Chains A and B, each alone.
Chain A
Amino acid sequence: DAGVTQSPTHLIKTRGQQVTLRCSPKSGHDTVSWYQQALGQEPQFIFQYYEEEERQRGNFPDRFSGHQFPNYSSELNVNALLLGDSALYLCASSFGVSGELFFGEGSRLTVL
């Protein structure tokens, strides 16, 4: 039973570029949440997707957007990258919006 898988594991971008990160939820899960974790900090909630809609959103600008597909997988898009967007981006899946969260290993983004 595959857990939460994220891709890519590492990537480097330059300021102003755009990035897309991908997440496949754990088998049987239908809800995906995204978190940003800066070095040495706790994870910060970005948003949650359920039934292909954004259900809740944290304090992140519109440069951060997402999508959920019919197979429950999800993408996180960040436009106009800033140096401060460098972080580990974590995807967590659950069964329903209140189910236990299972996290992937993250995608580490470096913005130069």
Chain B
Amino acid sequence: DAKTTQPTSMDCAEGRAANLPCNHSTISGNEYVYWYRQIHSQGPQYIIHGLKNNETNEMASLIITEDRKSSTLILPHATLRDTAVYYCIVRNTGGFKTIFGAGTRLFVKA
């Protein structure tokens, strides 16, 4: 599975959009980009995933570049409850093991 690179931490003002970048330059054609988040001491929570098209759901939007070497998770209106560690993961369709990177610690501030 390809590896990902994320900023260690980011700040965001409450009510503003949080844009979390992820680099996955060695991604293969059959690998999806997944995003999970983990709020302190809880299990990771699935947010969104995509292959090459942009995706949106009730939680977030995922923008994947045309060359698929990077992506951005967008939380359109961040709240204090969005403070968490956000993990970007690439995972192939065989998907046997999902490997987590170090993630981005997002701090949403009032």
Contacts and interface: CB of A to CB of B under 8 A. Distances in A.
Interface of A: 4, 33, 35, 42-45, 48, 55-56, 58, 88, 90, 92, 94, 96-106
Contacts of A98: 91-96
A33 B103 CA distance: 20
21 contacts: A33-B97, A35-B100, A42-B87, A42-B101, A42-B103, A44-B100, A45-B99, A45-B100, A55-B96, A94-B95, A96-B95, A97-B95, A97-B96, A98-B93, A98-B94, A98-B96, A100-B34, A101-B36, A101-B44, A103-B45, A105-B42
Contact of A42 (B42, B93, B95, B102): B102
A106 B45 CA distance: 12
Interface residues of B, number: 24
B98 interface: yes
Contacts of B102: 42
A45 B44 contact: no
Contacts of A42: 85, 87, 100-103
The 5 closest A-B pairs by CB, nearest first: A98-B95, A103-B43, A56-B96, A42-B100, A45-B97
A29 to B, nearest CB: 13
Contact of A45 (B46, B92, B98): B98
Contact of A101 (B46, B93, B94, B103): B46
A90 B41 CA distance: 11
A102 B93 contact: no
Given A42-B87, A42-B102, A42-B103, A56 B97 contact: yes
B29 to A, nearest CB: 15
A101 B42 CA distance: 15
Contacts of A45: 97-100
Given A56-B96, A100-B46, A103-B45, 14 more contacts: A4-B43, A42-B102, A45-B97, A48-B96, A88-B41, A97-B94, A97-B96, A98-B91, A98-B93, A98-B94, A98-B95, A104-B43, A106-B42, A106-B43
B88 to A, nearest CB: 11
